[in-house]
Structure 1
Amino acid sequence: MIQYQISPLNPNSHLFEVLLSFKSTPSQNYTLTLPAWLPGSYMIRDFAKNITGICAVNSKNEAIELTKTDKQTWLIEASDEQVQVRYQVFAFDLSVRTAYLDSQRGFFNGSSTFLQVEELSEQPCQLSILPSTLSEHSQWRVATGLTRANGTEKYQFGQYTADNYQHLIDCPVAIGEFDSTEFTVEGVVHHLVFTSKHYGDTQQLAEDVSKLCQHHISLFGEAPFKEYWFITHLLANGFGGLEHKNSTILQAGRFDLPNPQQPTTQRSEDYRTFLSLCSHEYFHAWNVCRIKPKEFVPYNLKQESYTKQLWAFEGITSYYDDFSLFRTGIINFDEYLAIIAKNSTRVNRGVGELKQSITASSFDAWTKFYQQGPDAVNNIVSYYAKGAIIALWLDLTIRSKSNGQYSLDTLMRELWIHFGRTNIGTSEEDFINIASMLCGEDISSIFKQHLYSNKRIDLTAELANYGVELQQHKFKKLNSLETTSETNFHAYIGANYKAQPFGLMITQVLEKSPAAKAGLAVNDVLIALDEVKVTEQSIQAIVDHQPENSELTCHFFRDDQLLSSTITVIDSPLAGIAFKVVDDILVKHWQDIIPNG
């Protein structure tokens, strides 16, 4: 086995120490490298920048020269039958992607922590996770999806194994004095781990998440793992997740968990959002971790791996993350319609989808989506959000054309059987061909139009088949996706913002909006409108007291320079999307289809 050992070297300095040992052939060259990115997060991260103090010795403790050939690669020539490499990793990124260590907790993804020996990448790996030597860390435990070995018990420091390097880096590890809860679904033990202080009702959470897990397992027909780990970093504010084959790393706000002082039927919006995140990452265990585009078989983690299919792997997953909340009874149908209406509004309010197709969005994820500039809302479309709209179209289309015999569930099971189990990568033609087969007719033309054109998708007819009316509404207030069916004047300036200690920082300016015509730009700090100081409350009150087409003076800081302009307050465009149930009988045909039905 390739031997790895990791231990908290200095929590206050945020340093892990890693020891890599492997048997070698004298005079043979070996290549040590670290990935440039990790699956599920499509951006070059350059993890090797956090490696410090790297050195190597042989079995006699004699130094071996390391030659760095690029930003993430070292060459080494073995001098005898053993190589031992020692290095430190600076761990100060409390995201879901890299590594973190302080006196309260530790965490690492293997992709940012463990050097690969390229010539031995398919050999089994053994990882020894050692505890901190500090007495205040005596209660620390370990949470990971890695296989426990040599008598190591669950949650214990000790030895863990992986089939190969890819398996090793696919199992993130959390250490600390964390809270944990377990539940079982279809014989699979699931773990809920929280790495910092919280006040949530973990039993209620386990009950709700178990419903979502049951939904996904039933949909695909089986669980492709023996256990599963939900590892959550709780912060003052946070949101995000990253999928792995038998685990996920999540980030959430400290008060997003269910409040034990509230009735279990009163799930807050923040809690429902967290459940949707859990659902999303768990669904990924099938859709992208195993069913994946052909460009990812195998992964090339040295450089970008381009694919036009992220609309399917993130979009379809985004469709099911909320749909499963409805199917399991966590939310009702009206609440579900409100969620998908909000997603549709997010896409419809800007002109990005009129400039970029969903396949182009997938292909350009590395730069345009993961490194969004201030112009993003006007020039790109999210393959998550519009991908979910395409998934909805696909689900309703398959249901209608098959007379309710099949649905998107069927398509996903077919993909699982033919591509997930077999580890054969998909092409977009596979989605189109299976969908056409289930529809009983060739739908490739309209399907490709949705994928490759820069046009909006009108679901009016598809929704009407299931008793739901698509409506276009005004925005109810500034800086919100909330819509209203009222036809009276609703003030609009076309900018989003967030509160600052003094003023409002502009975060988005929609193309051709009053804010754009006034010359406002992202990162400007608006301080006054109509010579009145603005806050989140006062700006709404100011515009609500104006007649349509009022011209108001605005003052704002750009960097440290005070500027002024004139902004015209207009009536809200009909850019908000809402869904209304108009036929309860038809809606039943949508609601009644369950994953294994």
Structure 2
Amino acid sequence: MKRVRIFLFILMTTAVSSAFAVSQPSIHFEVSFKEPQAHYVEITMKIENIQRDFIDVKMPVWTPGSYLVREYAKNVEGLVAFSGDHAPLATEKINKNTWRINSGKKSALTVQYRVYGFEVSVRTNFIDDSHAFLSPAGTFLYVDGFLELPVDVTILPYVSWSKISTGLAPVDGKPGTYHAADFDILFDSPIEVGNQDVFTFEAAGVLHEIAMVGGGNYDSDRLKKDCASIVEEATRIFGVNPNKRYVFIVHNYQSGGGGLEHLNSTVLGASRNGYQNERSYVGFLGLVAHEYFHLWHVKRLRPIELGPFDYDVENYTTSLWIMEGFTAYFDNLLLRRCGFLSENSYLQALGSDINTIENRAGNQVQSAASASFDAWIKYYRPDENSANTSISYYNKGALLALMLDLKILAATNGEKRLDDVLKAAYETFYVQQKRGFREQELQTLIEQIAGTSVSDIFDAAYTPGSLDYNRYLKAVGYEVIDYNEGRELPDLGITTSASDGRVLVTGVSRGTGAWDGGINVRDEIIAINGERLDANGKELNRVLQTAAIGDALQVLVARDGKIRELTITLTKDTRGSFGIVPLVNATPEQQRLGKIWIGGR
């Protein structure tokens, strides 16, 4: 009798477990390419065991890491839905990125749609007859309220394609099928399908795959060696590499650039024939270093506002000066530590950031924190006045990171630096507490490690205006100098370009004679002081070289088909030419700290 009861109990338990397993919601995508030459990908979405009167399926409006609403739904065509028995289901679009399917509590339904993709970037779909790059946020719909569901994706390459590169986990026994634990991971895992050149290397105990798309004059052995060096150095900072496998997808164009970080992969743009040019090659390695650093700093260690994500709207944060700015600081520092940049080249790179920020009128208008918050409306949508109203949180954030690094070094006698802060923050917030951080929490952690206040630097992140670089650089034996200091040069206040034999105004700088005198962007400069300009603007240069501050110029312009004469008074050129140089008569202690800061191999 006891055995019978045990048997019946096991039987009932098995039946309940089986029923429970069957009833679990699941989503599976099938990706195919019927007309890649026309830039389309076909998507079949199978939804099971979400039994409701209606189901809303949605397309994200943006992709993490690129802070702009891109309206991916605009590329969706021909969406239809069917029940498990292939009966059509009524479907309507209820807003810009949501389709409502009247599913009638069906246990299984299929959604079919096409996506057009023909935009060259690291964040948008591109499909042609040679390959397909799929940005998942712009490709895959999700069921409203079910972002946490696991999802499988089966990719059916076009007939002439043979390779798939993605950070998604392959499903054993199912070629071309990949698994994501949830939609956040799916949306963070770009997919390349085609005939890319694939090679691998191992570094920091992690298998790395490089998928080179579009050919190029690269040396794969050199790339593997140099990328491995960057991986090892970045891993040394954080003490652990969180991946078992990492994928670099590199799109090689006639002229290309840019990158986008992902959880265990990145997409990079490069110039296919730039690998044999040393400067271009080091620039590419800088891009590698930047995006790889993000696998800790952004993808895991992050502000509390950046995850979990709302894919319907902007996700605002003031902390991109920390996330992108610190990364922009460390990318060149990694190259220096790996031996790819000399000390002089490294200082020039920092000097370039200083020139970019200090010579931009928007530096007096927008803070680094505000630039972060307004990235959604300003950084990715620049216009002719952007230089007067905004700055880049990349450049200014990198300089704020420099100041933090130097202050920590000086306060701890070289025992600690920004590396130690990031390692501690990664362990505290990501590993132990499994959450994002608030800026005040990060500031407190820095002050605990440094043993001194860093409110001056955090305040500077929220304040427009110039930074006091030498306050921090001199502690390690360096200083910023302005090579233009003491020079009295006139400035008209415009930038121009030559087009079809005309000299056109492309920018007008705030506070200059052109700004006060009313020159507009898109004006054609015809003549100055009665002298007609040549097509390349050489006459304009001659006038400026022979004029003096305070001179009044008669500038003849064409605007919207009408001729106007403007009186423009030349002002002093306030732009600096900044560089970082060793401090004259630096003390032994300053020199010691300087070697710790900037030391390479």
Q: Same fold (TM over 0.5)?
A: yes
Matched residue SS, 1:331: coil
Residue aligning to 1:92 = 118
Work out whether 1:19 is the aligned partner of 2:23.
no
Q: Deviations over 1:113-136 (max 9, x none)?
A: 000013432222111111114xxx
Q: CA 1:200–1:560 in structure 2 vs 1: closer, same or farther (change >3 Å)? A: farther
Work out whether 1:53 is the aligned partner of 2:53.
no
When structure 1 is superposed on structure 2, of 402-411 and 220-229 the one drifting more is: 220-229
Work out whether 1:368 is the aligned partner of 2:394.
no
The residue type paired with residue 593 of structure 2 is H
- Percent of aligned positions with the same letter in both sequences? 29
For residues 472 and 67 of structure 2, the distance between their equivalents in structure 1, rounded to whole angstroms, comes to 33
Q: CA 1:437–1:531 in structure 2 vs 1: closer, same or farther (change >3 Å)? A: same
* Equivalences, count: 569
Root mean square deviation of aligned Cα? 2.6
Work out whether 1:590 is the aligned partner of 2:594.
yes
Residue aligning to 1:263 = none
Query: 1:367 Cα deviation (Å)?
Result: 1.0
Residue aligning to 1:532 = 533
Matched residue SS, 1:299: coil
For residues 235 and 550 of structure 1, the distance between their equivalents in structure 2, rounded to whole angstroms, comes to 47
Residue aligning to 2:9 = none
For residues 508 and 372 of structure 2, the distance between their equivalents in structure 1, rounded to whole angstroms, comes to 24
Query: 1:491 Cα deviation (Å)?
Result: 5.7
Residue aligning to 1:440 = 451
Work out whether 1:125 is the aligned partner of 2:151.
yes
Residue aligning to 2:18 = none
Task: Trace 1:19-418 onto structure 2 (pairs within 5 A).
Answer: 19-79=44-104, 80-133=106-159, 138-151=160-173, 158-259=176-277, 267-268=278-279, 270-418=280-428
Q: Kindly indicate whether the alpha-carbon contact (under 8 Å) linking 1:348 and 1:576 is maintained by their aligned counterparts in 2.
A: no
Q: Kindly indicate whether the alpha-carbon contact (under 8 Å) linking 2:201 and 2:208 is maintained by their aligned counterparts in 1.
A: yes
Residue aligning to 1:580 = 581
Q: Deviations over 1:291-339 (max 9, x none)?
A: 1111123111111111111110011111111111111110111111111
Q: Kindly indicate whether the alpha-carbon contact (under 8 Å) linking 1:25 and 1:78 is maintained by their aligned counterparts in 2.
A: no
Q: CA 1:139–1:51 in structure 2 vs 1: closer, same or farther (change >3 Å)? A: closer
When structure 1 is superposed on structure 2, of 337-346 and 28-37 the one drifting more is: 28-37
The residue type paired with residue 203 of structure 2 is V
For residues 553 and 49 of structure 2, the distance between their equivalents in structure 1, rounded to whole angstroms, comes to 74
Query: 1:537 Cα deviation (Å)?
Result: 6.5
Q: CA 1:502–1:226 in structure 2 vs 1: closer, same or farther (change >3 Å)? A: farther
The residue type paired with residue 445 of structure 2 is I
Q: CA 1:9–1:499 in structure 2 vs 1: closer, same or farther (change >3 Å)? A: farther
Q: Kindly indicate whether the alpha-carbon contact (under 8 Å) linking 2:82 and 2:111 is maintained by their aligned counterparts in 1.
A: yes
Query: 1:139 Cα deviation (Å)?
Result: 4.3
Query: 1:576 Cα deviation (Å)?
Result: 2.8
The residue type paired with residue 315 of structure 1 is G
For residues 111 and 595 of structure 1, the distance between their equivalents in structure 2, rounded to whole angstroms, comes to 41
When structure 1 is superposed on structure 2, of 364-373 and 107-116 the one drifting more is: 364-373
When structure 1 is superposed on structure 2, of 169-178 and 74-83 the one drifting more is: 74-83
The residue type paired with residue 435 of structure 1 is I
When structure 1 is superposed on structure 2, of 282-291 and 585-594 the one drifting more is: 585-594
Q: Kindly indicate whether the alpha-carbon contact (under 8 Å) linking 2:493 and 2:508 is maintained by their aligned counterparts in 1.
A: yes
Gaps of 5+ in 2: 1-25
Q: CA 1:539–1:398 in structure 2 vs 1: closer, same or farther (change >3 Å)? A: same
The residue type paired with residue 144 of structure 1 is T
TM-score of the superposed pair, with normalisation by structure 1: 0.89
Q: CA 1:506–1:333 in structure 2 vs 1: closer, same or farther (change >3 Å)? A: farther
Q: CA 1:495–1:257 in structure 2 vs 1: closer, same or farther (change >3 Å)? A: farther
Q: Deviations over 1:48-78 (max 9, x none)?
A: 1110000000111100111322111122232
Query: 1:97 Cα deviation (Å)?
Result: 1.2
Matched residue SS, 1:592: helix
Task: Trace 1:526-565 onto structure 2 (pairs within 5 A).
Answer: 526=525, 530-535=531-536, 540=541, 543-544=544-545, 554=555, 556-561=557-562, 563-565=564-566
Q: Deviations over 1:440-493 (max 9, x none)?
A: 13333x23421222232111121111111211233xxxxxxxxxx7x6665643
Q: CA 1:447–1:550 in structure 2 vs 1: closer, same or farther (change >3 Å)? A: closer
Q: Kindly indicate whether the alpha-carbon contact (under 8 Å) linking 1:215 and 1:595 is maintained by their aligned counterparts in 2.
A: no
Matched residue SS, 1:107: strand
Matched residue SS, 1:208: helix
TM-score of the superposed pair, with normalisation by structure 2: 0.88
Gaps of 5+ in 1: 260-266, 475-484
Larger radius of gyration: 2
Q: Kindly indicate whether the alpha-carbon contact (under 8 Å) linking 2:47 and 2:110 is maintained by their aligned counterparts in 1.
A: yes
Matched residue SS, 1:449: helix
